[in-house]
A and B are shown apart, each in its own frame.
Chain A
C-alpha cells in the first residue's frame, strides 16, 4: 500500500526530522529487521526445537508428565509463531511455508478430517517427516499437531497405546522445527532477504526502491490488524450479531486462541515500535504514534481479561465484552496505521491498492 512508501518517502524528503532523529530510511528498515523480525523468528526457532524435543521425549517415555511438558512446549511454540506470523513477506511467503506451518482459515475443517484419516489408517508415511512434508499442508501444521496433543483420545499419548499418534506428532514437530530454523536462517542471511530490503535495486522484482520496501513493511502493519479481526476474532465471535462459534476459533482445543491473538498484537507492536517508523512524523502529529501505542495497550489489557479457554470465555459477559472490544481495537488500529500514520507523515493516504478487488 501507498502509505508505507509514504513513510520512507517522508524520511527521505524531510531531512530536518530525519536528521534530528538521525533516522534514515535504511535505519528504519534495519531496525525492523534487527530488532523485531530476526529476534522473533529466532525465538520461534528455539521454541519449535523445544517442541520437537518435548514430543520426542513423550514418545520415548509416554506419561502424563511428559504429555503435559509436550503440551506446554506446543503452547510456547504457538506463542512464538503468533508473534511472527504477521511478518508476511520474504521467507515466510515462499514454498507454501505459511500454509505448512499453519493451515488457516480452514472453514471446512480439512485439517481435522485429514488427521482423523491418518489416525484411522495408521498411515506410517505420516510418521516420517520427509514423507509427511510432501503430503497435504493441512495435515502437517500446528492445527494438526494441536488435535493430536489436545483433541479427542489425546490421553492415549500417556501410554504405549498412543505410539502411532505420538510418532505422527513427532514428525509434525520435526517439520515445524525445520521450517522455523530455515526461516530464521534466511532472515539472518546477510546476502538474503535482509540485503534485498536494505539495498533495494531496480533488478529486484519486489523491492526496487526504499519506497517499495516501506510499502511492504507498512503493509504488514495495516494488513496485520485486519487479519487479526477477520481471521482470528470474527470467525468465532460471529459477525453482525450472529451467535458465537467457539469451535470456529483457531487453537480452541489447547486454550491458545486468545494467547495467540495477544501475541499477534505483540508482534505488530514490536514491528511498529522497534522500527521507529512512526517517529518520522512532525511534532504536531506525534499523537499518531501515541494513538497506536495507546490502542496496542488497550489490546493488551483486554487480552488479559480473557483468562479462560474461548468456549468458557464466551459464556462470561466480562470476557465476552473484552473479546468484542478487541474487534474495536483492530478497527481503530486500521485507521491509525492505515490512514493516520500516512497523513501524519504529510502524504495522502493510499487507497485504491490497499488490497485486491
Chain B
C-alpha cells in the first residue's frame, strides 16, 4: 500500500528540494497522507493533502468549492468542482508541476466525481447535460492536455459518483435522479418525478450493461455514493428527498448480476443518519463499508458479509471516509480527522474544514 520511499524516489530531487520542512518530515515519518477538498478558515477553497497526524502537507488553491478528488494510476490528482461547478484542477501531489485547470464544455457542468482508466490515459467525469436533464460521462484525453474527446450517456438524470469496477472494464454510475439546471443554482427541480438508478456501463463502448432501480415507492431515494466490498459488490448510500418524517432505509448494495437491495439498519441507527448519507468508502481489504451522515453526525462501519453495523463514531459534521491499512478514517466539516473500526488514528483537529470526501493518497 503506502510506500513513502517509493513516493520520494518517484518525486525526484527537484521535488525533495521543494518540500517544505514539515512536508518532508511528514513523509519521512511514515504518516499516511489523505486528500480532500477543503474550505479555509480564512475564507476560500482548496484541495489539501494532510497527514493523519494533523499536518497540512500542501494545498492547491481552487476558484470555488471543490468536491471529490480522484487519482490516476500514475499519481496525478484531479479535484472536481462541486456541482454545478465548471472546473476541474489536475495537480501533481508531489508539487513537481503546476496545477492545470480544466473547464467543462458549453452546455455541461461537473457533478464533482470522476475516475481514470486503468492505464491512466483517459479521465472520465460525471457531468450534467442540463438543457436536456441528461447525465453524461465526459471523456478526457490525458496525453492530449486533457482535451475532451467525447461523452457517454449515464442513462439517467443527475449522476453523482462514478467508479471503475475492479474488472477495469465497467463503470458503475449512481444516477441520483435529481434534475438541476444552472439557471437555478442547486435547486432541485423534479422531486415529484425522480427516477434514481445504478447503471453499469461499458468503459470502452459506453453501452448500458445493466441498470437497477429500487422499488417504485422509493423513487425519492437519491442514490449518490458508492464503494466496492471484497466481493466487488457495489455498496451505495442514499439521500431521501421525501417527507422528513419518513425514515426509509438508506444503505444497500447492487451487483452486476442484477441484484439490488437495501439492508435493514436498526431504527435508532437509521434515525441517526437523518435521511442523508454523505459518503461511502471501503476499507483497504473491502471487508468494511463506511457510510457517513454529516446531518446526523454519525459514521458507521458495516460488515458487508453480515450487513450489520460493527462500529460507529459520533463525529460532528463528519462526512469524508477513507481507509488506512486496518480500518477507516473519517473527516469532518469542523476539521476533525479520526480513526474508527480498528484504525489506530487518534482524533486530530485541523485549522480548516474538510469537504464531503476523503481519499487516501497511494504511492506510485
A and B physically associate: yes
- Could you list which residues of chain A lie within 8 angstroms of chain B, going by C-beta atoms? 2, 93-94, 96, 99, 105, 107, 137, 205-206, 226-227, 229-231, 234-235, 239, 248, 348-353, 355-357
Within 8 Å CB of A230, what residues of B?
184-187
How far apart sit A351 and B82, CA to CA, in the bound complex (Å)?
Answer: 13
Q: Which residues of A contact B224 (CB under 8 A)?
A: 357
Kindly identify which residue among B67, B239, B245, B317 contacts A205, using a CB–CB cutoff of 8 Å.
B245
**B-side interface residues toward A, CB under 8 Å?**
39, 67, 82-83, 112, 160, 181-187, 189, 192, 222, 224, 239, 243-245, 247, 271, 276, 278, 294-295, 316-320, 332-335, 353-356
Q: For A96, what are the chain B residues with a Cβ–Cβ distance below 8 Å?
A: 192
Q: Which of B186, B245, B316, B354 contacts A206 (CB 8 A)?
A: B245
In the complex, chain B residues whose CB is within 8 Å of the CB of A348: 334-335, 353
Cβ contact within 8 Å between A235 and B355: no
User: Contact between A2 and B317 (Cβ–Cβ < 8 Å)?
Assistant: yes
Tell whether, in the assembled complex, residue B112 and residue A352 are in contact, meaning their CB atoms are under 8 Å apart. Answer: no
> Are B184 and A357 neighbours in the complex by a CB distance under 8 Å?
no
In the assembled complex, the Cα of A206 lies from the Cα of B354 at a distance in Å of 25
Contact A107 B332 (CB under 8 A): no
B89 CB to closest chain A CB (Å) equals 18
Contact between B243 and A352, CB atoms less than 8 A apart: no
Q: Are A107 and B183 in contact (CB under 8 A)?
A: yes
Q: Name A93's closest neighbour in chain B (CB-CB).
A: B244
A105-B319 Cα distance, complex, nearest whole Å: 30
Return chain A residues, CB-CB under 8 Å to B183.
107, 234-235, 239, 248
Q: For residue B349, which residue of chain A has the nearest CB?
A: A348
Instruction: Point out the residues of chain B lying under 8 angstroms from A231, CB to CB.
Output: 184-185, 187
Q: Are B189 and A356 in contact (CB under 8 A)?
A: no
In the assembled complex, the CB of A111 is this many whole angstroms from the nearest CB of chain B, namely 13
B114 CB to nearest chain A CB (Å): 14
Interface centre among A234, A350, A353 (most CB of B within 10 A): A353
A137 to B294, CA, bound (A): 32
Question: A353–B239 contact, CB under 8 A?
Answer: no
- With beta carbons under 8 angstroms apart, the residue of B184, B247, B333 that contacts A351 is B333
Complex contact B186–A352 (CB within 8 A): no
Given A93-B244, A356-B276, A357-B82; A351-B353 close (CB under 8 Å): yes
Contact A352 B356 (CB under 8 A): yes
Closest to A355 in B: B186
| A to B CB contacts below 8 Å, 19 in the list | A2-B334, A94-B243, A99-B192, A105-B184, A206-B244, A226-B185, A230-B185, A239-B182, A239-B183, A348-B334, A349-B353, A350-B333, A351-B334, A352-B294, A352-B353, A352-B356, A353-B317, A356-B222, A357-B224
Q: How many Å from the CB of B191 to the closest CB on chain A?
A: 9
Cβ contact within 8 Å between B355 and A352? yes
In the bound complex, how far is the Cα of B202 from the Cα of A11, in angstroms?
55
Q: Looking at the complex, which one of A226, A234, A235, A351 makes contact with B39 (CB distance below 8 Å)? A: A351
B187, A353: Cβ atoms under 8 Å? no
**Interface contact A352-B278, CB-CB below 8 Å:** yes
CB nearest neighbor in A for B86 = A240
Our pick among A205, A239, A356 for the contact of B244 (Cβ within 8 Å) is A205
Measured between beta carbons, the chain B residues less than 8 angstroms from A137 are 192
Closest Cβ–Cβ distance, residue A113 to chain B (whole Å): 16
Name the 5 nearest CB pairs between A and B, nearest first: A230-B185, A351-B333, A352-B333, A353-B294, A352-B319
Cα A234 to Cα B181 in complex, Å, equals 12
The residues of A that contact B245 with a CB separation of less than 8 Å are: 205-206
Are B334 and A350 neighbours in the complex by a CB distance under 8 Å? yes
Alpha-carbon distance between A96 and B353 when the two chains are bound, in angstroms: 35
Point out the residues of chain A lying under 8 angstroms from B222, CB to CB: 356
Q: Kindly list chain B residues whose C-beta atoms are within 8 Å of the C-beta of A93.
A: 243-244
Chain B residues positioned under 8 Å from A248 (CB to CB)? 183
**Pair A2/B316 contact, Cβ less than 8 Å:** yes
Please, which residues of chain B bring their CB within 8 A of the CB of A234? 183-185
Q: Which residues of B contact A206 (CB under 8 A)?
A: 244-245
- How far is it, in angstroms, between the C-alpha of A21 and the C-alpha of B175 when the chains are bound? 50
Minimum CB–CB distance from A47 to chain B (whole Å) comes to 26
Most chain B beta-carbon contacts within 10 A, residue among A96, A99, A234, A350: A350
Which A residues lie within 8 Å of B181 (CB)?
107
Of A94, A107, A357, the contact of B67 (CB 8 Å cutoff): A357
Q: What chain B residues lie within 8 Å of A205 (beta carbons)?
A: 244-245, 247, 271
